[in-house]
Amino acid sequence: MNLYLNGLPYGYELQRVCQMFFFGEKVLPQPEGPQDTQESPHLGVAKIGGELRAWLYDGEQTLRRCPAPEAGRPTEERLAVLLYGILSEYTGLRPSWGVLTGVRPIKQMVAALEDGMSEEAIKKRYQEDLLVSPQRLQLALDTARTELPILRKSTPDSFSLYVSIPFCPTRCAYCSFVSHSVGQAARLVPDYLDHLCQEIQVTAAIVRNLGLKLRAVYFGGGTPTTLSAEQLGRVMKTVEQEFDLSDLWEYTVEAGRPDTITKEKLETIRALAPGVRVSINPQTLSDQVLEAIGRRHTTSQLYWAMDLARSCGLENINMDLIAGLPTDSLEGFQASINGVLDLHPENITVHTLTVKRAANLTFQQAKDKLDLVGDMVNYARCQIGDKGYAPYYLYRQTGTLSSLENVGYAKPGCEGLYNVYIMDETHSILAVGAGASTKLRHPVTGKIERVYNYKYPYEYISQFSTVLERRERIRAFYQEAK
Ligand code: SF4
């Protein structure tokens, strides 16, 4: 469907608002029109005299209007509200984040709390101006309250390190990350690790020179435990030798797939990073759903991996679940939540299924869960909250069922700090490896600059001299900031 902007400059944001009502279909912003044809259906916005107008034409016209405020953000917001009203009526949907479309709906709220805005004023703004539902507003406020002390810990010289291991045993149906299955890419792994260790060394030398303090290390991917214990140990030792870990607050290793976990790997991780936080991710506790999403592991392997992790002395475990997976049901998802709670992990992250064009899962396949997914995430929130966990980070993605969110819950004191820092963009994240993107945060202005690495391991290896050249931007960025 076309969205005609008639000279108004808010195409990107308004398109995203409309897109929430048309899962898997495209809403295309067009600068002008339609003038003399009544294209059906189409959406349009215009400013005529002192009035803003938005309409939907589908055989007949639904028109909403309001007085025009001063140009800029308020105008964009009011047009979004007009379109939201029209499309709610047209589709019967009421996306619960209202006209908020961004990845970080908490960020503005945290800033408002820090600026001393009262909760009453925040509630009014989110519910009345932005149409956020009372449930989402409460979730956002609870998350912001847990986040605040974590954010305040960070100092201008703090940074976190992300180490990318972009390999997985198989590719999940919903995955759009750079994750080469080891079957295909096994021959690249040794060479990849040689280059990765070199990039770690070069990055650490720059950091030493700048006097920055490393607060959180995060091994992600992919699935880092796809590597052998020896390979993983080698990369972790390189981090330990090259970086000063005396100011470190947290060390996380994703051991996402239970079928990649062995006693030797967990012992290696624990020996090299005492107090480590580990992710062991079931996604669902239904074998039939696991098969449908191509995970190639079973629920009993998950239970076995959890027992093993506890017997190896791992005391901070995160478990991920996904609401809205193909073939799952509300009852099945509820059983997964209850089953995970019975395992008493310190963190539980509840994702809502996101469909990406690069993934094997199609919008069509995901569509039948649209009606269920809201009940799924609300059930998760109530059950997990009742067991003493609090939400501590939250983000959204484009293409998520019902435009819902991903939420990290933690027992008090067990929050994954890295997750908060990357989502809030509190401090720089220096990322190494293929597919990794470094985010530099200006210590005074907060301005963000990104430095990208090559996406695929073979490019990363073959273009490695450029990878190293780009590292120099870290040094220059901080020197310019002085
Ligand atoms: S485990 Fe994660 S990174 Fe690997 S294929 Fe599945 S979704 Fe992608």
* Residue to probe by mutation, ligand 1, list 164, 165, 167, 171, most atoms within 8 Å of CB: 171
Residues 190 and 250 reside in one and the same domain: yes
Residues 172 and 291 in one domain: yes
Query: Does residue 101 fall inside a structural domain?
Result: no
176 CB less than 6 Å from ligand 1? no
Same domain, 60 and 209: no
pLDDT of residue 35: 63
If you write DSSP's letter for every residue of 57-93 in order, what string do you get?
A: ESSSEEEEEEE--STTHHHHHHHHHHHHHHHHHHH--
Mean pLDDT, residues 38-59 taken together:
92
Residues 314 and 337 both lie in one domain: yes
CA 165 – CA 224 distance, rounded (Å): 5
Nearest CA to ligand 1 atom 8: 175
Q: What is the pLDDT of residue 24?
A: 85
Closest by Cα among 353, 290, 343 to 318: 343
Burial of 379 (0-12, 13-18, 19+ CB in 10 A): middle
Measured in Å, residue 233 CA sits from the centre of ligand 1 at 21
* pLDDT tens-digit readout, 332-377: 999 999 999 999 999 999 999 998 877 778 877 788 778 899 999 9
Q: How many Å lie between the centroid of ligand 1 and the Cα of residue 223?
A: 7
Distance CA 94, CA 106 (A): 20
Ligand 1 in reach of 257 Cβ (< 6 A): yes
Distance of CA 171 from the midpoint of ligand 1 (Å) = 6
Atom of ligand 1 nearest to the CA of 176: 8
CA distances from 173 to 51, 170, 294 (A): 47, 9, 6
pLDDT of 291: 93
Convert the pLDDT of each residue in 211-225 to its tens digit: 999 999 999 989 999
Query: 141 and 168 in one domain?
Result: no
Domain presence at residue 464: yes
Sign, CA torsion 59/86/52/15 = negative
Task: Give the SS3 label for residue 380.
Answer: helix
Q: Which residues make beta-bridge pairs with 448?
A: 441
- Boundary (domain end) residue, out of 124, 149, 174: 149
Percent above pLDDT 70 for the chain: 98
User: How many independent structural domains does the chain possess?
Assistant: 3
* Claim to verify: residue 204 and residue 281 sit in the same structural domain: yes
Contacts of 460 (CB under 8 A, 6+ apart): 192, 195, 433, 434, 435, 453, 454, 467
> Which of residues 187 and 201 earns the better pLDDT score?
201
In a domain, 87, yes or no: yes
Question: Average pLDDT for residues 79-92, to the nearest whole number?
Answer: 97
Mutate to test the pocket of ligand 1, among 174, 179, 284 (most ligand atoms within 8 A of CB): 179
- 323 and 428 together in one domain: yes
Does residue 99 lie within any of the structural domains?
A: no
Tell how strand 448-452 and strand 437-441 pair up: antiparallel
Check residues 79 and 32 and name the one with the higher pLDDT.
79
> Residue 414 burial by CB count (10 A; 0-12/13-18/19+): exposed, middle or buried?
middle
Residue nearest to atom 7 of ligand 1 (CA): 175
Contact 454, 463 (CB under 8 A): yes
Contact 251, 273 (CB under 8 A): yes
Ligand 1 mutation pick, 172, 295, 397, max ligand atoms within 8 A of CB: 172
Q: Which of the residue ranges 33-42, 82-91, 247-256, 283-292 would you say has the lowest mean pLDDT?
A: 33-42
Instruction: Answer yes or no: is the C-beta of 222 below 6 A from any ligand 1 atom.
Output: yes
Domain annotation covers residue 382: yes
Whether residues 285 and 310 share a domain: the answer is: yes
Dihedral angle, C-alpha 429, 432, 435, 441, nearest 10 °:
20
Work out the burial of residue 5: count CB atoms within 10 Å of its CB; fewer than 13 is exposed, 13-18 middle, 19 or more buried.
buried
The enclosing domain of 200 has a CATH number of: 3.80.30.20
Judgement on whether residues 334 and 427 belong to the same structural domain of the protein = yes
Q: Which domain holds residue 133?
A: 107-149
Is the minimum distance from the CB of 179 to ligand 1 under 6 angstroms? yes
Q: What is the DSSP letter of 368?
A: G
pLDDT in tens, 229-259: 999 999 999 999 999 999 999 999 999 899 9
Identify whether 461 is part of a domain: yes
Question: Are residues 143 and 164 both part of a single domain?
Answer: no
186 and 334 co-located in one domain: yes
Residue 12 has pLDDT above 80, yes or no: yes
Looking at the structure, do residues 52 and 7 belong to the same domain, yes or no?
A: yes
Average pLDDT value for residue range 11-20? 95
- The confidence score (pLDDT) of residue 430 equals 98
- Structural domain contains residue 195: yes
Judge whether 13 lies within some domain: yes
Give the Å distance between the CA of 110 and the centre of ligand 1: 31
Angle value at C-alpha 168, between 166 and 170, nearest 5 degrees: 140
